[in-house]
Amino acid sequence: MPKTIFQKVWDAHVVHEEPGEPALIYIDLHLIHEVTSPQAFEGLRLAGRKVRRPDLTFATMDHNVPTTSRSLPIADPISRQQMDTLTANCREFGITLYDLHSPRQGIVHVIGPELGLTQPGRTIVCGDSHTSTHGAFGALAFGIGTSEVEHVLATQTLPQKRSRNMAIEVTGSLPPGVTAKDVVLAIIGKIGTAGATGYVVEYRGSVIESLTMEGRMTVCNMSIEAGARAGLVSPDDKTFDYIKGRPFAPQGQDWEKALEYWHSLRTDDGAVFDRTVTIEGETLAPHVTWGTNPGHVVPVTGSVPDPDSFDDEIERRAVEQALSYMGLEPNTPMQDLPLDVVFIGSCTNGRIEDLRSAARIAQGYRVKSGVQALVVPGSTAVKEQAEREGLDRVFTDAGFEWRESGCSMCLAMNPDVLQPGQRCASTSNRNFEGRQGKGGRTHLVSPEMAAAAAIEGHLVDVRTWDVKGSI
Amino acid sequence: MEPFVKVQGIVAPLPRANVDTDQIIPKQFLKRIERTGFGEFLFFDWRYLDDGKTPNPEFELNHPGYHSAKILITERNFGCGSSREHAPWALSQYGFRSIIAPSFADIFYNNCFKNGMLPVVLPEKTVEELIRRAEESPGYSLTVDLEVKKVYDQHGWEMSFEVDESRRERLLKGLDDIGISLRYESDITAFEARRPAFLDRQIAQHH
């Protein structure tokens, strides 16, 4: 019987199963960071348990880290304590840690692929909802809570109920200026923030196939914003080319065996999905959010919606609340909104290709006076690569701030925080109330749209941009 | 883990849809390394005025009638967003034992069961009606009974709810999931022995 990649990966990881009980699933790779792990390690200590597979567990620091100079001490004592705790826990339990001073440090979902740890067919978990990013490689990857982090540390397994399986097909091709970010924002706009709850989503179709690995990661990253348990893409030559030669990629004969295995994982022709959603690539435009969840989205040529245009009473109330928080009037064109801050970075759009795309728009221009524009690479390796390519100079010449890597203003746990009332175009993944700082107003966009917005001081349609540079 | 069998208590209404975990416990309170001390920061940005101290009189939970509430009733897709277990910790440490909504986000729903808290899914129309009752008569109370899988009040209203049987069993007895999984340790060891070596050889060489 034909199977989907999700079914194949699932079946290959069942350790134990009995009727009426969740299956016990083996976890191939466990990524941890400073914020959601301390209580899990404490739980292990209290129960006198060990980490079963420290070799399959990798840690880094990302959520809390300052993005100013790494040579300065960390000013916030509580943040520092959390990082020190991770260091002590990794030492005690024998776990590899890429700390603040490691060249391999970075956002956990950026470094996994970068190091070749993220591979097709692996089950990957992390105490972070954007773990779905790794699904771009054909891995089954999902976010878990701290109790589950403890569970994986202790047993290298998780009890899981099998999710349903959804196909989201993006057909045809994308018009110029439309990116992976716009694809995923359009998907969430179409199916809603709970549209994929209970499902593992496989992204398919010619548009998904044509995306680079970075683009596929952007799409899979935001699966959780549609409520999905996980999102993935069947692996192909692009996937294998990306992995080849990376530090943890199989080598020599192992590479040949791995390739054979990975090829076998692709969804079979005729495999059945529980639900299929289709979107035509040609119909897509650059997208931007207007409200307080990622489903509140319109094309950049659109306007702030009128609450009265929503039939559903609960939805209407939510829209009214969102407009009040965002300080917006119905029917205002999105491109008229003045901006205070622009943030380029995060596990959604903080990879090298994202920075190249933004730099291409910024080259030869200046950030609008009064706008603060931050570029925060997703990892130390991305930062070094960008500097080798001279992207840092393009950004700083244009008036952007060039920072050290970390999650930064995506969730504003570190000092990069919006002030109340500030309006921000952001390449991150969540426009929730207060996400980037209490009272801060977030509009989610692609890296290209963010760069153009920084220069004009308001949202603009990047399709009309006059590219001056040569990047 | 504290078992959950039956909880009777005042119902606090929160008539908002898509309440995300950033609202339930804002990021500035995620820096603690303990599992405790989150209750006072629950819904912090909604609960307090800009000074961070004065209770916001507009916020539903600040109404004196709901101060000792044990049951929260709210709208669709509650707990969406971040996987932070600090959200159920904050709700539970504030005093909630059960949350009723038309739907929940996946990770949050899982996290509740790990913390002796029961998320109950009821039809949207029913939830709307219960929210109205709680708003009109603060002090309105419900009983959430996991043994018989029913929610009922003191005036004869009742409704059944569905919950996964293995989850119900674990919650009723307050069982530790890790302990249950470790019963299958020999299966885990056998599975590890079957895993092809080529998958992890680079990792093994690194260590």
Question: Which percentage of chain A shows pLDDT scores above 90?
Answer: 96
Find out whether A5 and A138 touch, Cβ atoms under 8 Å: yes
Amino acid in the structure at residue A371: V
Residues of A in Cβ contact (< 8 Å) with B178: 47, 49, 150-151, 154-155
Backbone angles phi, psi at B181, to 5 degrees: -65, -35
Q: Check A38 against B45: CB less than 8 A apart.
A: no
Can you tell me the distance from the alpha carbon of A341 to that of A245, in angstroms, rounded to the nearest whole number? 38
Find how far residue A167's CA is from the centre of its chain.
20
Question: In the numeric block, which tokens belong to residue B38?
Answer: 């989150």
Question: 3-class SS at A26?
Answer: strand
Closest CA to B198 of A262, A45, A198: A262
Assembly ipTM:
0.96
Residues of A in Cβ contact (< 8 Å) with B163: none
DSSP state of A222: G
Closest CA to B35 of A50, A346, A41: A41
| Cβ count within 10 A of residue B125 | 9
pLDDT for A73 equals 81
Beta-carbon-side half-sphere exposure of residue A7 (alpha carbons within 13 Å): 15
Can you tell me the distance from the alpha carbon of A432 to that of B88, in angstroms, rounded to the nearest whole number? 18
β-bridge pairing B71-74 and B150-152:
unpaired
Question: 3-class SS at A276?
Answer: strand
pLDDT digits (tens, 9 = 90+) for B181-201: 999 999 999 999 999 888 889
List the single residue in A with minimal CA-CA distance to B188.
A15
pLDDT digits (tens, 9 = 90+) for A286-314: 999 999 999 999 999 999 999 999 999 99
- What are B105's strand-pairing partners? none
pLDDT digits (tens, 9 = 90+) for A420-459: 999 999 999 999 999 999 999 999 999 999 999 999 999 9
Burial of B150 (0-12, 13-18, 19+ CB in 10 A): middle
Q: Check B31 against A81: CB less than 8 A apart.
A: yes
Residues of A in Cβ contact (< 8 Å) with B182: 154-155
pLDDT for B122 equals 98
Q: Check A96 against B206: CB less than 8 A apart.
A: yes
Band the pLDDT of A20: cuts 50, 70, 90: confident
Between B207 and A140, residue with greater pLDDT: A140
Whole-number average pLDDT of chain A: 97
Find out whether A141 and A128 touch, Cβ atoms under 8 Å: no
Is pTM beyond 0.95 here?
yes
Considering only CB atoms, A20 lies closest to which of B17, B165, B181, namely: B165
Q: Looking at residues A55-59, what average pLDDT do you find?
A: 98
Q: Check A96 against B18: CB less than 8 A apart.
A: no
Q: Can you list the pairs that A66-73 forms with residues at least 24 positions away whose Cβ atoms lie under 8 Å?
A: A66/A404, A66/A406, A66/A414, A66/A415, A67/A374, A67/A376, A67/A403, A67/A404, A67/A405, A67/A406, A67/A408, A67/A414, A67/A416, A68/A403, A68/A404, A68/A415, A69/A404, A70/A100, A70/A101, A70/A404
Closest CA to A301 of A319, A288, A311: A288
Question: Which percentage of chain B shows pLDDT scores above 90?
Answer: 93
pLDDT for A112 equals 98
Burial of A368 (0-12, 13-18, 19+ CB in 10 A): middle
Work out whether the CA dihedral A383, A232, A137, A154 comes out positive or negative. positive
Question: In the numeric block, which tokens belong to residue A452?
Answer: 């153009």
Separation in Å, CA of B46 to nearest CA in chain A = 10
pLDDT digits (tens, 9 = 90+) for A95-121: 999 999 999 999 999 999 999 999 999
Q: Which residue of A51, A64, A95, A129 is the best one to mutate when testing the B interface, meaning the one whose CB has the most B CBs within 10 A?
A: A129
Considering only CB atoms, A254 lies closest to which of B107, B185, B201, namely: B201
Residue found by looking up tokens 């020190």 in the block: A84
- What are A171's strand-pairing partners? A280
Beta-carbon-side half-sphere exposure of residue B50 (alpha carbons within 13 Å): 6
| Cβ count within 10 A of residue B53 | 7
pLDDT for A217 equals 98
pLDDT for B206 equals 84
Closest CA to B101 of B8, B27, B207, B16: B16
CB pairs under 8 A between A and B: 201
Which residues, in sequence order, are CB contacts of A332 under 8 Å at separation 6+? Answer: A303, A304
Considering only CB atoms, A38 lies closest to which of B33, B50, B196, namely: B33
Any chain B CB within 8 A of the CB of A241? no
With vertex at residue A176, the alpha carbon angle to CA A170 and CA A182, rounded to the nearest 5 degrees, is 50
Q: Is the pLDDT of residue A70 over 90?
A: no
Which residues in A405-439 are b (16+ Cβ under 10 Å) and which e?
bbbbbbbbbbebbbeeebbbbbbbbbbbbbbbbbb
Considering only CB atoms, B198 lies closest to which of A198, A254, A293, namely: A254
Q: Which residue of B1, B24, B107 is the best one to mutate when testing the A interface, meaning the one whose CB has the most A CBs within 10 A?
A: B107
Residues of B in Cβ contact (< 8 Å) with A156: 188, 192
Considering only CB atoms, A432 lies closest to which of B23, B84, B192, namely: B23
Lay out the sheet containing B118-121: strands in order across: B118-121, B98-101, B71-74, B6-14, B141-145, B150-152, B158-160
- 3-class secondary structure per residue, chain B: CCCCCEEEEEEEEECCCCCEHHHHCCHHHCCCCCCCCCHHHCCHHHHECCCCCCECCCCHHHCHHHCCCCEEEECCCECECCCCCHHHHHHHHHCCCEEEECCECHHHHHHHHCCCCEEEECCHHHHHHHHHHHHHCCCCEEEEECCCCEEECCCCCEEECCCCHHHHHHHHHCCCHHHHHHCCHHHHHHHHHHCCHHHCHHHHHHC
Burial of A68 (0-12, 13-18, 19+ CB in 10 A): middle
Any chain B CB within 8 A of the CB of A15? yes
Backbone angles phi, psi at A297, to 5 degrees: -135, 145
Can you tell me the distance from the alpha carbon of B162 to that of A460, in angstroms, rounded to the nearest whole number? 48
Band the pLDDT of A179: cuts 50, 70, 90: very high
Find out whether A348 and A107 touch, Cβ atoms under 8 Å: no
With vertex at residue B81, the alpha carbon angle to CA B76 and CA B87, rounded to the nearest 5 degrees, is 85
Find out whether A340 and A371 touch, Cβ atoms under 8 Å: yes
pLDDT digits (tens, 9 = 90+) for A197-237: 999 999 999 999 999 999 999 999 999 999 999 999 999 99
Band the pLDDT of A471: cuts 50, 70, 90: confident
What's the full length of chain A, in residues?
471
- Alpha helix segments (H runs only) across A12-107: 38-47, 77-93
Q: Check B182 against A155: CB less than 8 A apart.
A: yes
Q: Is the pLDDT of residue A71 over 90?
A: no
Find out whether B25 and B76 touch, Cβ atoms under 8 Å: no
Task: For each of the domains in chain B, give its residue range(s) and CATH number, in order of start.
Answer: 6-175 (3.20.19.10)
